[in-house]
Amino acid sequence: MGETWTIQRVLDWTTGYLGRKGEERPRLSAEWLLSYVTGLSRVELYTNFDRPLDREELAEMHTAVARRAQGEPLQYVTGEMPFRHIVLRCEPGVLIPRPETEILVDAAVEGVDAAPEEGYVPEGYDPDPVPVARVSDTLGTDAPGEDADEKDDGEAEVDAEANAEPKPAAGPEEPSAPPEPLTRGPLVLDLCTGTGCIALSIAGERPATRVVATDLSPTAVALARRNRDALDLTDRVEVLECDLASAVDPRLAGHFSVVVSNPPYIPTEVLEREVPAEVKDFEPHLALDGGMDGLDIFRRILAGAPSLLAPGGMLCVELFEGSLAQAADLVRKQGGWARVEVREDLTHRPRVLVCVREA
């Protein structure tokens, strides 16, 4: 008969095996994998050292260790990732949330807290449950093609007529009342949402806020919706499949208190030469490659931001550390911004651009 594989034995063996495969933190990875297989927390592993794994657990652990040894990210192997105060489902084809993105959420929450308490309901727009964007049959399936780079930088903008607040219709006696404000809080737009980590964190931490989240990837949109539903935030977060803000209802333009994004921002050459294989070989290039200088998508976001934001609204974008100064210059040259600020991440590298519109 074979020797019994207890939690301690499996943990020790996995640590050694992953260490020989070049894992930087083999003990931590072994704990994550064993917690995933057994359903025990990392602390509980150490209080159940003598517990044997059954045949199904051993088989699942073997598969998980093999995937990790081949370089597949732990988050894809275990299928989940803690982020701020929530736990998100993760799956191949969708960018894994990073700790530095929590700094981006901090900035966005500041923008929410600084926004007026009342939101906006356009004429004819059903405020129940929330004033969020509706999916457009023609725009909701936007996909990049050979002519994607030929699109106007202002694609996210809407024309002045659509951007104007609805005018009350004149009647025989007096104009009808304008749309009532939404008293449950400000609107936030999250572009390139991925797993939904930003949108769901904001909605969870600021319950009065309503969030519209968009992504070009059908895989990301499906995952973000599952994460939203699992967190019981369906009534406060709308997830749209579209190119940036192309499916956002034009009547919401000019009424977002915050536009936030973690777009593809790694310069192409950096992605090819410097990014670890664990990221480059497994995570989607669509969510990583930001073009020659890392600012291809940012330029499009910046072009559309003035028409999307309310006066005094905030734009928050996570970017490559070497691109922040150039991005800040682009904002200043555009004009109409009261404040432009670069913030550092947890390792004190420039990471987040925070811009506030003139009131």
By three-state DSSP, how is residue 318 classified? strand
- Which of 251, 255, 236 lies closest to 313 in space, CA to CA? 255
pLDDT-derived band at 127 (thresholds 50, 70, 90) equals very low
Rounded mean pLDDT, 263-291: 92
Domain assignment of residue 84, yes or no = no
Q: Check residue 2 and give its pLDDT.
A: 62
Domain total of the chain: 2
- Which of 7, 8, 30 lies closest to 18 in space, CA to CA? 30
**94-124: b (≥16 Cβ within 10 Å) or e:** bbbbbebbbbbbbbbbebbeebeeebbbbee
- Which of 276, 243, 251 lies closest to 153 in space, CA to CA? 243
Same domain, residue pair 108 and 53: no
Rounded mean pLDDT, 6-12: 95
**What CA–CA distance (Å, rounded) separates 86 from 196?**
11
Same domain, residue pair 13 and 119: no
**What CA–CA distance (Å, rounded) separates 31 from 43?**
9
Domain range for 235 is 101-144+156-165+179-357
Rounded mean pLDDT, 306-325: 96
125 CB burial (10 A radius; 0-12, 13-18, 19+): middle
Measured CA distances, 7 to 10, 27, 58, 143, 192 (Å): 5, 13, 10, 47, 40
Same domain, residue pair 132 and 37: no
Same domain, residue pair 105 and 190: yes
Full DSSP string of 84-122: TTEEEE--TTSPPP-TTHHHHHHHHHHHHHHS-S-----
Q: Check residue 169 and give its pLDDT.
A: 34
Q: Check residue 123 and give its pLDDT.
A: 57
pLDDT-derived band at 349 (thresholds 50, 70, 90) equals very high
Domain assignment of residue 1, yes or no = no
Q: Select the more confidently predicted residue: 229 or 170.
A: 229
- Which of 8, 17, 7 lies closest to 54 in space, CA to CA? 7
Measured CA distances, 168 to 16, 123, 124, 133, 174 (Å): 71, 9, 11, 22, 10
pLDDT-derived band at 310 (thresholds 50, 70, 90) equals very high
Domain assignment of residue 341, yes or no = yes
Same domain, residue pair 13 and 134: no
Question: Does residue 131 surpass a pLDDT of 80?
Answer: no
Two structure tokens written together for 21: 């495969």
Domain boundary among 51, 70, 89: 70
Average pLDDT, the chain: 84
Question: Does residue 152 surpass a pLDDT of 80?
Answer: no
Neighbours of 53 (CB within 10 A): 19
Domain assignment of residue 47, yes or no = yes
pLDDT-derived band at 118 (thresholds 50, 70, 90) equals low
pLDDT-derived band at 157 (thresholds 50, 70, 90) equals very low
Domain assignment of residue 150, yes or no = no
Domain assignment of residue 173, yes or no = no
Give tens-digit pLDDT for 59-105.
999 999 999 999 999 999 999 999 999 999 999 999 999 989 999 99
Rounded mean pLDDT, 176-185: 49
The pTM score is 0.79
Q: Check residue 120 and give its pLDDT.
A: 63
Q: Check residue 318 and give its pLDDT.
A: 98
Helix (H) or strand (E) holding 355: strand 350-357
Question: Does residue 319 surpass a pLDDT of 50?
Answer: yes
What is the sign, positive or negative, of the torsion defined by CA atoms of 62, 68, 71, 75? positive
Two structure tokens written together for 65: 């260790």
Give tens-digit pLDDT for 41-64.
889 999 999 999 999 999 999 999
Rounded mean pLDDT, 261-286: 92
Question: Does residue 172 surpass a pLDDT of 50?
Answer: no
Helix-strand-coil split of the chain, %, nearest 5: 40, 15, 45
Same domain, residue pair 139 and 27: no
**What CA–CA distance (Å, rounded) separates 222 from 195?**
9
- Under 8 Å CB-to-CB from 24, ≥6 apart: which residues? none
DSSP 245: T
Question: Does residue 154 surpass a pLDDT of 60?
Answer: no
Domain assignment of residue 85, yes or no = no
